[in-house]
Amino acid sequence: MEELLLAWFAEHGRKLPWRGTRDPYAILVSEIMLQQTQVTRVVPRVLESLEGLPPVELLAVASPADAIRAWQGLGYNRRAVALHRAARLVAEHGWPDDLTELPGVGPYTAAAIGNFAFSRPLLPVDVNVARVLSRTGGRFGPRAAQALFDLGATICLARIPRCGGCPLADACPSVSCRYEPERKQGPFEGSFRQRRARVLRLVAAEPRAVELDPEALESLVADGLVVVDHGRATLPS
């Protein structure tokens, strides 16, 4: 199965900007950006980041406020704080052998950085990869990681797979199956997430009174995205 998949990937693989580097810092940035965010939203920001990416040492000496402001528009802003903390650890101590020691880096992201930056024999398993593995029952090695990502994202879709275009269809026990829709997150419009994003956007522009939206503000403070001092809300310095 793996050779069929790799042949398909060579012809149909997505041209994504982070696939052209083995710099662990650039891969860390792109992987954290991709957490819980669609690829189409991330690509322009990754291109921007990779073109003017400051060395990890410069991000490390930047303030958390600068990291949060640079992150605006990608959502899940705690990732900006985690990336900033990870950069500080790398600048001070280098890349750890156990990459999950870095803030914001779980087993999947650690495997992705390990594979793509350090050539470790690890297969990163995200939702798309897990779906392909489960449906095909195939065994794939680390070199098939990017191909598995693309097959899961473009062909082996969650509800209605496009089996007619799948290079593994002839050997797949799940061919032509249909699946129940996965539970989706509620709409952003009118949500608490939207309220948090609005408050953070306002505080990023200038310090604000704590009466702005007390519930959303409390949540942002708990996540380390905002600090309150003398009745004013500001970004962490």
| pLDDT, tens digit (0-9, with 9 covering 90-100), for 57-114 | 667 777 888 888 877 777 778 888 898 899 889 988 999 999 999 999 999 999 999 9
Sign (positive/negative) of CA torsion 29, 33, 34, 36?
A: positive
Residue-number span of the structural domain to which 100 is assigned: 13-118
Residue 217 counted as domain residue? yes
Residue that terminates a domain, selected from 118, 147, 174: 118
Residues 17 and 110 grouped into a single domain: yes
Residue 4 counted as domain residue? no
Residue 206 counted as domain residue? yes
Residues 112 and 27 grouped into a single domain: yes
Residues 18 and 105 grouped into a single domain: yes
Residue 179 counted as domain residue? no
- The more confidently predicted of residues 143 and 214 is 143
CA distance 69 to 226: 12
Residue that terminates a domain, selected from 118, 143, 160: 118
Residue 40 counted as domain residue? yes
Q: How many domains does the chain have?
A: 2
Strand, helix or coil for residue 86: helix
Contact 61, 49 (CB under 8 A): no
Residue 201 counted as domain residue? yes
| Residue 53: pLDDT over 60 | no
DSSP bridge pairs for 209? 232
pLDDT interval class at 157 (50, 70, 90): very high
Please tell me the predicted confidence (pLDDT) of residue 69: 84
Contact 118, 86 (CB under 8 A): no
CA distance 192 to 219: 10
Residue 230 counted as domain residue? yes
**CATH code for position 107:** 1.10.340.30
| Residue 49: pLDDT over 70 | no
* pTM flag (> 0.85): no
Residue that terminates a domain, selected from 101, 118, 135: 118
Residue 103 counted as domain residue? yes
SS (H, E, C) 128-156: HHHHHHHHHCCCCCHHHHHHHHHHHHHCC
Show which residues are catalytic.
31
